[in-house]
């Protein structure tokens, strides 16, 4: 049963990713395909028993980050790319070859069969297990990440404001 749900989510994730990369006409549609891909990734996280990460994936990625993308796409409102054709086919061939080679290479690195997954402790992947880890073993990384977010916020405001002349 779980396998079939997993395969359905995987199909949606791959289809959404392909739709995002191959949609050359409409950037809003590309962003919405990426949203579909991210939501199904959230479902896969839940199937892998990472419940908090699944919720955060949908809240932060599919919600906040993609809303910012859509906001910028609609703010800039470029109806037509109008990009010159140029050496497009060279890049397309190169990209397709590299993509297939990369996927085959990465899959080839994997072992044929993973060993049986370890038994999970009580409350694995819940907010308590992650919160305790985040505030004991990884508290320095947690604090540094808040500094990173603050500096990114200041940087984004300075980059995007109209110059004060």
**Of 118-137, which residues contact other proteins (CB under 8 A)?**
118-121, 124-125, 129-130, 133-134, 137
- Binding flag, residue 117, other proteins (CB under 8 A): yes
Q: Contacting other proteins (CB under 8 A), which of 1, 110, 140, 164?
A: 110
Closest to other proteins by CB, 86 vs 165, is: 86
DSSP, res 142: H
Closest to other proteins by CB, 155 vs 164, is: 155
Number of residues that bind other proteins (CB under 8 A): 87
- Can you tell me which residue has the tokens 């959230």? 42
In b/e form, how buried is each residue of 44-55, taking b as 16+ CB within 10 angstroms?
bbbeeebbbebe
Q: For residues 68 and 79, what is the distance between their CA atoms, to the nearest angstrom?
A: 18
- Binding flag, residue 143, other proteins (CB under 8 A): no
Build a one-symbol-per-residue string for 33-72: x at contacts with other proteins by CB under 8 A, - elsewhere.
-x--xx--x--xx-xxxx-xx--xx--xx--xx--xx--x
Shortest Å, Cβ 165 to other proteins: 14
Q: For residues 36 and 11, what is the distance between their CA atoms, to the nearest angstrom?
A: 11
- Binding flag, residue 29, other proteins (CB under 8 A): no
- Binding flag, residue 139, other proteins (CB under 8 A): no
Q: CB 41: neighbour CB atoms within 10 A? A: 21
DSSP result, 62-79: IIIIHHHHHHHHHHH--S
């Amino acid at each position: 049963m779980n396998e079939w749900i997993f395969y359905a989510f995987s199909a949606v994730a791959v289809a959404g990713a392909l739709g995002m990369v191959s949609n050359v006409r409409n950037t809003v549609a590309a962003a919405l395909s990426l949203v579909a891909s991210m939501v199904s990734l959230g479902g896969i996280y839940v199937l892998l028993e990472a419940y908090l990460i699944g919720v955060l994936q949908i809240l932060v990625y599919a919600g906040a980050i993609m809303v910012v993308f859509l906001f910028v796409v609609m703010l800039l409102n470029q109806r037509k790319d109008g990009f010159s054709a140029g050496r497009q086919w060279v890049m397309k061939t190169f990209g397709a070859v590299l993509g297939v080679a990369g996927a085959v290479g990465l899959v080839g690195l994997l072992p044929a069969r993973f060993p049986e997954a370890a038994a999970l402790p009580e409350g694995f992947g819940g907010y308590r297990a992650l919160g305790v880890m985040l505030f004991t073993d990884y508290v320095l990384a947690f604090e540094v990440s808040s500094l990173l977010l603050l500096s990114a916020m200041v940087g984004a405001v300075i980059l995007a404001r109209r110059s004060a002349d």
